[in-house]
Amino acid sequence: MSDISIAVLSGGISRERDVSLESGQAVTAALKENYFVDLFELNEMALPTNLDAEKQVVFLTLHGTFGEDGEIQKMLEEKNYSYAGCDFEASHLCINKKETKVRVAKSGIRVAEDFLAVAPGLPAATEVVAKLGSSVVVKPLCEGSSVGVSIAENEEVLGEQMAQLESGNWLFEQKIEGREFSVGVLEGKGMGLVEILPKNGFYDYRHKYTEGMTEYRYPAELDDSLEKEIREAAECVFEICGCRDFIRVDFMTSDSGESYFLEINTLPGLTSTSLLRKSASCLGYDFPQLAQKLVSPAINRFYASRDN
């Protein structure tokens, strides 16, 4: 056993709380093979009062608000905690789907056309369709786990969906018809590609976290050159967005075989159905091995900071 302990922070205040709690329990069980682990359940936007930066490394399994948005990362940095995952700046960038896409597009990676608007005061559905086409994906600007995402296959349905959006920032995105993939990136290196095949509808929150609702193929079966393109794009995204330790990156491929970046998840779920675990398994990692890989860079930073 190591002479430090791991503090796993789960729960939180976002709509992804239940997923966070499940991830926290899974990570705690996996890390206990090698470390002393304390599991904390957060119920407010504050750090637990009994954390100790001199003895504990933090592992976050939080999502959405006060999880992936950079706020808890900022608190941890201000109190000199070593923690696993992206730092404040990368987290703050990547939670914003539009700003992330702008940065990624500048690197030459394809992204879907989009339209950002604020409710109330949204444009007419006809204006959105004129810019993006008749099939449109509607996303909240700063949420994860497909919370609040919907797909409108025509202008009439889009208008009905937009009428339900009373407040907030919304990203309207051209729907790419094709196949959906996800790839984990571990310390800058892409892992296995996972193809996502919802059994009906699209890969929404329910399909993500209900066993049997989605089929997964991993490693994905696709052309070698396209697989290489997606993996290298994921590694490029990791670098240009200033990420560290681990992320998960999602892509679509069009029917003509072109890949499109969708978004980054800086704190991917780690439940039994989660994509990062599937991506890592393509390289032969079981979950305890993966958990060790995920926390190791933070442990190294912990010791490095105390040697200085």
Position 207 confidence tier, pLDDT thresholds 50, 70, 90: low
Tokens at residue 284, please?
């032969």
Average pLDDT over residues 97-112: 97
Which stretch of DSSP H or E encloses residue 8? strand 5-11
Mean pLDDT of 195-216: 74
Q: Which fold has domain 114-174?
A: Dna Ligase; domain 1 (3.30.1490)
Name the residues annotated as catalytic: 16, 145, 209, 248, 250, 263, 265, 269
- Class of domain 94-110+177-285 as given by CATH: alpha beta
- CATH no. of 5-85+288-307: 3.40.50.20
- What is the tens place of the pLDDT at every residue in 56-104? 999 999 998 999 999 999 999 999 999 999 999 999 999 999 999 999 9
Q: Mean pLDDT over residues 107-119, rounded?
A: 96
Residue 8 confidence (pLDDT) above 90: yes
Find the radius of gyration of the CA atoms of the chain: 19
Sign of CA dihedral 268, 277, 102, 149: negative
Say what the pLDDT of residue 217 is: 96
Is residue 2 predicted with pLDDT exceeding 70?
A: no
In the chain, which segments carry CATH 3.30.1490.20? 114-174
Rounded average pLDDT over 231-240: 98
Residue for token pair 């592992």: 59
At residue 266, does pLDDT exceed 70?
Answer: yes
Question: pLDDT for 44-57, tens place per residue?
Answer: 999 999 999 999 99
- pLDDT tens, residue by residue, 129-139: 999 999 999 99
Nearest to 235 by CA among 294, 179, 184, 280: 184
Q: What is the token pair recorded at 197?
A: 């095949």
The segment(s) of the chain belonging to CATH 3.30.470.20 are 94-110+177-285
What is the model's pLDDT at position 15? 87
What residue spans in the chain does CATH classification 3.40.50.20 cover? 5-85+288-307
Mean pLDDT of the chain: 93
Per-residue pLDDT band for 148 (boundaries 50, 70, 90) equals confident
